[in-house]
Structures are given as structure tokens and as C-alpha cells.
Amino acid sequence: MINGHGDDLYHYPGIRMNFSSNIPQHVDLSALKRHLASCLDVIDTYPEPEAWSLERLLAQQLGVSEQCVIVTSGATEAIYLTAQTFRMQHHIAEPTFSEYADAISLNEATSHGGEAGDALWLCNPNNPTGTVMERQAVGEQMSRYDLVVVDQSYEGYTDVPLLTAREAAAAGNVVQIHSLTKAYGVPGLRIGYIVTSARLAERLRRQLRPWSVNALAIEAGKYLVAHATPLRPDLAEAQRLRRQLSAIDGISVAPTRTNFMLCTLRDSTAADLKGHLARHHGILIRDASNFRGLTPHHFRVAAQQTEENDALVRAINDYLK
């Protein structure tokens, strides 16, 4: 596991505006909290060894067989489960989420022999760059590799059409990773799921730990899928923030198709900027220097509400002047 994931709010008391996590910060979870309060009795007994009830509900919503859906404790468990199951020659399109390489490295260290074939890992939309591959481009990669792992955790944070669950289940060589955590803004609950072919799902299930998803998370997942609307960040506001940041002398901002964006400081480090913003403005950003392929000058922010975005721009201007 890497140190320095986004939203390390626990290290910084007094934060008023959090740009560190890609998940929008102003999510109304009151209905979900009332529902969970009404079903606390589920903690009295063991949950389902595998979250079958939530898998059935997701399969119905997605239009795939329930054999093709595996619910996990967040997308991160899905990543480690996939790396543990398929001991192939792995290729990662970087810079990207560092847990792919960590999961692969961990399982290479414990492996007593791999299997033939090449696997490609794609984060789409990609974290931390905000770039998005069109469905056709993903399809081209599917024809080149024996296995393609497509992490679509941020699929609701872009307007680019992505590979569908039906396409992933039918492909035969795709493991598609999803995040209810990010779809509904509930990072503390840890709920993710995999969509893949029945054949690959059978292999993954052999490695699945029993009771990996707790009873409250299962109840939350079923409630959200049945009653809630997935988050849709304001992409126009994100582009406005990108233009404002790009106009600051000493900062460049990469193009993005999501609500988050990767920035580069010319003459300072992300760690220094992060500390200044936290201490003097109560603002938290993501130091992106621990992403493989990036430098101490890289940081990431996710657009929030207009007033907060304007406050971020003013604070960075204050730091750089």
C-alpha cells in the first residue's frame, strides 16, 4: 500500500475546503444514514460470505448475469484480487493509480510460477491525469492483450462514453472494476465490484475472502443502487477552474475530461504548496509526487463549488506572489 493517498484529512486539522479527494465533497447522505440507522440489527450476525444479494441487484441493473458480478470491499480489493488471480506478464499505462503496481508486486513476490499471457491495466478515466480513453481505443487494446483490466471507478465523472458492463461481460478477456464508493460519495463504506465473463469470474471467486464486505456496506450498497442517483460532478465548473489555474504564472495544468486535474509547479514543490495551503487557508490538495512517473512539482485538485474553487485560486496566487 502506498502512503499519501488523496483525502489524508486526518493529518490536517482545521481544513475547511478539501480538494484532495476526487469525490465531490458536498454530497447529501442524510437518506442513506437514516436507512442504515434503521437496520443496525444486521451487525448482530455475520454478513453473507459473498455479497450475493447486492450482486443480484447490480446484475439486474446492468443487464448481465449475476455470475458475472463480484462485489468487493472497495475497488482496491478488486485490484488486489485481480492481481492475485492472474499471474501473467502485467503492463501498466502510467502515470496512474499506484495500487496496480503494488498489487502486482505483492503477488509476484508470493508467486510460485505465473501463467502465459500479457495483461494490460488501464485506469479509465485515469487518475491522476483526468484523461479518458474512448471505447474504440479500449477495444483496440482488448484485441492486443490476453487480459485487459479496466478500472472505471471514475466512470460517472466524465461525459465520454465508456465500455459498458455488458461489453465487459461478453468480451471474455476483460476485468472491469467499478466503485460504488465514488459513484455515491461514500468512501468510508468501501464498496466496489467487478464485472467480467462468467469464466473469469469463476477464477476470481476462488481467491475471494469470505465476509470481505461487511453487513452495513451491503445494506448501503443495496439502498444506493435501488434509491439513489449516482454523482455527476459539474464538468463545466471543472473546466472553469482549469482555465483559472492555467492563467497563474508558474503553474501548468494538463487537459482533463473529468472533474479533477493534474497541475505542475514550475519553481516550487507540491509538498510546500500543500503545507502552505493547509496552514494558512484551511485548504487541502493532493501532493501527486508519489505517483510513478511524476515529480515533486506535481499536484492534483478536484473541482468543488464555485466559491471554493475561487478561494483555491486566490490562495495559490497568494503562495506564488
Structure confidence by residue, pLDDT tens digits, 95-105 = 999 999 999 99
In whole angstroms, give the CA distance from residue 86 to residue 80.
10
Among 206, 227, 248, give the residue marking a domain's end. Answer: 227
The answer to whether residues 37 and 170 belong to one domain is yes
- pLDDT of the residue at 112: 59
- Other C-beta atoms closer than 10 Å to the C-beta of 15 total 17
The answer to whether residues 193 and 94 belong to one domain is yes
In whole angstroms, give the CA distance from residue 165 to residue 150.
11
136 domain-assigned: yes
Cα 110 to Cα 114, 135, 196: the distances in Å are 11, 35, 25
**Cell 473541482 belongs to residue:** 303
Adjacent-strand bridge partners of 298:
264
- pLDDT of the residue at 66: 97
- Other C-beta atoms closer than 10 Å to the C-beta of 83 total 26
- Measured N-to-C along each axis, helices 198-206 and 74-85 cross at an angle, to the nearest 10 degrees, of 90
In whole angstroms, give the CA distance from residue 229 to residue 68.
23
The answer to whether residues 19 and 88 belong to one domain is no
Among 227, 249, 277, give the residue marking a domain's end. Answer: 227
DSSP conformational letter for 228: P
What's the number of domains the chain is made of? 2
* CATH number reported for the structural domain that contains residue 82 in this entry: 3.40.640.10
Among 227, 260, 279, give the residue marking a domain's end. Answer: 227
Q: Is the dihedral of CA 313, 257, 224, 20 positive or negative?
A: negative
Q: Could you state, in chain order, the average pLDDT of each consecutive group of 10 residues for the chain (321 residues)?
A: 61 91 95 97 97 98 98 98 96 95 85 83 98 96 98 98 98 98 96 98 97 98 97 97 97 98 97 96 96 96 98 96 85
The answer to whether the beta carbons of residues 157 and 260 sit under 8 Å apart is yes
User: Residue 175's closest CA among 158, 206, 200, 155?
Assistant: 200
- pLDDT of the residue at 84: 96
Cα 174 to Cα 71, 80, 94, 97: the distances in Å are 16, 16, 19, 19
- pLDDT of the residue at 110: 64
Note if the pTM is more than 0.85.
Answer: yes
* CATH number reported for the structural domain that contains residue 237 in this entry: 3.90.1150.10
**Cell 439486474 belongs to residue:** 60
In whole angstroms, give the CA distance from residue 186 to residue 181.
5
For residue range 257-285, what is the model confidence (pLDDT) as tens digits?
Answer: 999 999 999 999 999 999 999 999 999 99
- pLDDT of the residue at 109: 60
- pLDDT of the residue at 10: 77
The answer to whether residues 297 and 210 belong to one domain is no
Which residue segment(s) compose the domain that 293 sits in?
A: 9-27+232-320
The answer to whether the beta carbons of residues 50 and 73 sit under 8 Å apart is no
- pLDDT of the residue at 111: 60
